[in-house]
Chains A and B, each alone.
Chain A
Amino acid sequence: MSATFEVKPAPAAPAPAPGPTVRKPPRTSRRTQARRSLRRHWQLYLLVVVPLAYFVIFKYVPITNAVIAFKNYSPIKGPWGSDWVGFRNFELFFQNPVFWTLVKNTFLLSVYTVLASFPIPIILAIALNEIRNGRFKKTVQLVTYAPYFISTVVVVSMTILVLSPRLGFVNDAIGLFGVPSIDFLGRPDYFRHIYVWSDVWQTTGYSAVIYLAALSGIDPALHESARIDGASRLQRILHVDLPGIMPTAVIILVLGVGNIMSIGFEKAFLLQNPLNTAQSEIIATYVYKTGLLNADFSMATAIGLFNSVINLFLLLAVNFAAKRITGNGLWS
């Protein structure tokens, strides 16, 4: 599919048409179409020059720069002039004792995030959809949506303050039950829970919006006939609402899995402290430390590349599976 839809053929050229004499083919070739489009709409092509340059420079040049993963990068020689070392950086990384810890931490953190932040917005959206439009519904939506707009730095600070052993209200609350106060961020075991649930707190309201849109797109006649057949509210949710939002849910799940290994650097890095690194060191934070703090550019790039490739592979695999199972995928 592409530009076979010329709105109308170019009008008889005012100047004598360049090139050979006018044939009258039933269909013009793509090349001719392109040339015509360029001549008539040169202003549109002019518009995209700068944005395209942006993508080339800041997205595609970095992809070619990633060649330094296979080199011993020297700032003087530049990415292409540096000496090849083959897969040595990768081998060194795989042999590094931290390798498995990093992969495990990244993987567990991401899977946990996807598992927790996938169903909860759906539940919220369905619950909101059940109650009649009114102030209560609006309030819940407005409030649950709000944390999405708060910056990661602030969310992490809030988390730290709220969980603080001396002053935070969580410890005050569990203190009421006689539990001694816990230094949540100092204990590696708690890191994943803190990360995931603060994430759920921040994004649930936002994600629910998409499902609410999908729910409002369900044909009311379906609900009506289900009611006439005597379906209860719960049955209608299970048999009308859930199937109705399936396509949306699948896309969101696929995207979530696609990010499974590229899990947010920002948050893990901010929540990290020397006490919890056993579980909080993930590939992204390690890349940052190797690359920018230790200035080992080649190694950091190799690790990042390893991550991106696994990511892409996971995304394609899940998209394929989703299409097979449900008929919906990211692209059709």
Chain B
Amino acid sequence: MRETKTDRIFLIGVKIMLWIALILVALPLVYIVANSFSSPAAVSAGRVLLLPVEPSIRAYQEAFSDPLIMKGYLNSFIYAAGGTLISVTLTIAIAYPLSRRTFFGRNVIMSLLIFTMLFSGGLIPTYLVVQDLGMLNTRWAMVIPSAIGVWQVIIARTFFRSTIPDELYEAATIDGASDLRFLWSIVLPLSKPVIAVIALMYAIFQWNSYFDALIYLKDPGLYPLQIVLRNVLILNQFGGTGSQDLAQQLEQQQLANVLKYALIVISSLPVLIIYPFVARHFTKGVMVGAVKG
């Protein structure tokens, strides 16, 4: 069927709108990257817009040679890897039984989990629990209190329920498999996509989180990257020992400016590199989560 004239005009309008959206979202990202690759002097003069001016990797050298930043990077990797392992294991351990119709009381348990999404004790009561468990100022505080996400349980449960037929279980039982054996040898291999999705959700959440560190950690040696970033980027705590002459101070100041842009790029890089590869799976996960049930 032919498009009418108004339809074509409408479509052009839609495309213009999408272009505007694209530019609005991309512009700040491009700006940050361009600045991070420019010379400190150009950045401090505000001469950079969309392309690097006097290209330089000075900021990156500085960032990668800063012990505090590298320590934060390492800590974040530890938290992301360890946290994801714990979270995925626990999520499957509860999501799988909840997906089985023969599991008695699954509706009660599900309601109990969902209730925690709607109502919580609050910041201080949770803090008290972490304190009583002796987790304050330990690495455990970063991975245990936020170990299981109800949303991820729902996603995993929905997946198990919709892709693992009961007949499969019955067949396995006849062959003598126990529940655990069935989960390990049949369900898990069939569930790689959903495991990948929830693992990624947890990893990114862990990589980006700073609030737990802010309240539970005191020792700078344990700080994840996000806390280091906050100190450098938002509180401006970087460099600048007072004993230098004026020229050096100016250079330090300029370096601190461009360093901020480089840090933003460095910290977002791991997530953004894997993102295009997993975006499609991620989208599926989001959609599953959006389905009631």
A interface residues (Cβ-Cβ under 8 A, vs B): 1-3, 5-7, 33-34, 37-38, 40-41, 43-45, 47-48, 50-52, 54-55, 57-66, 68, 79, 123-124, 127-128, 130-131, 136, 139-140, 142-147, 149-154, 156-158, 160-162, 166-167, 169, 172, 201, 204-206, 209-210, 213, 227-228, 232-234, 248, 251, 258, 265-266, 270, 287-288, 291-292, 297, 300-301, 304-305, 307-308, 311-312, 315, 330-332
Interface of A, helix, strand, loop or mixed by DSSP? helix
Q: Which residues of chain A have C-beta atoms less than 8 A from B97's C-beta?
A: 41, 44-45, 47-48
- A166 vs B47: C-alpha distance in the bound complex, in angstroms? 11
6 contacting pairs across A/B (C-beta < 8 A):
A48-B97, A52-B94, A144-B22, A149-B204, A210-B287, A287-B123
Whether A59 touches B116, Cβ cut-off 8 Å, given contacts A6-B102, A7-B101, A150-B271, is yes
Are the CB atoms of B210 and A37 closer together than 8 Å? no
- A205 vs B21: C-alpha distance in the bound complex, in angstroms? 10
Interface of B, helix, strand, loop or mixed by DSSP? helix
Are the CB atoms of B128 and A62 closer together than 8 Å? yes
- A6 vs B233: C-alpha distance in the bound complex, in angstroms? 58
Instruction: Select from chain A the residue with minimum beta-carbon distance to B283.
Output: A209
Whether A63 touches B119, Cβ cut-off 8 Å, given contacts A47-B93, A47-B96, A153-B234, is yes
Determine how close the nearest CB of chain B comes to the CB of A129; give it in whole angstroms.
10
Q: Which residues of chain B have C-beta atoms less than 8 A from A308's C-beta?
A: 119-120, 122
Supplied contacts A47-B93, A127-B17, A287-B124, 20 more A-B pairs, CB within 8 Å: A43-B178, A44-B100, A59-B121, A64-B121, A65-B125, A79-B125, A130-B11, A131-B14, A136-B15, A140-B21, A147-B25, A151-B226, A160-B233, A172-B46, A234-B10, A288-B215, A304-B122, A304-B123, A311-B118, A311-B119
B interface residues (Cβ-Cβ under 8 A, vs A): 1, 4, 6-7, 10-11, 14-15, 17-18, 21-22, 24-29, 31-32, 35, 43-44, 46, 49, 90-91, 93-94, 96-98, 100-109, 112-113, 116, 118-129, 133, 144-145, 147-148, 166, 170, 178-180, 183, 204, 207-211, 215, 226, 229-230, 233-234, 257, 260-261, 264, 267-268, 271-272, 275-276, 279, 283, 286-287, 290, 292
Q: Which residues of chain A have C-beta atoms less than 8 A from B49's C-beta?
A: 169, 172
Determine how close the nearest CB of chain A comes to the CB of B110; give it in whole angstroms.
10
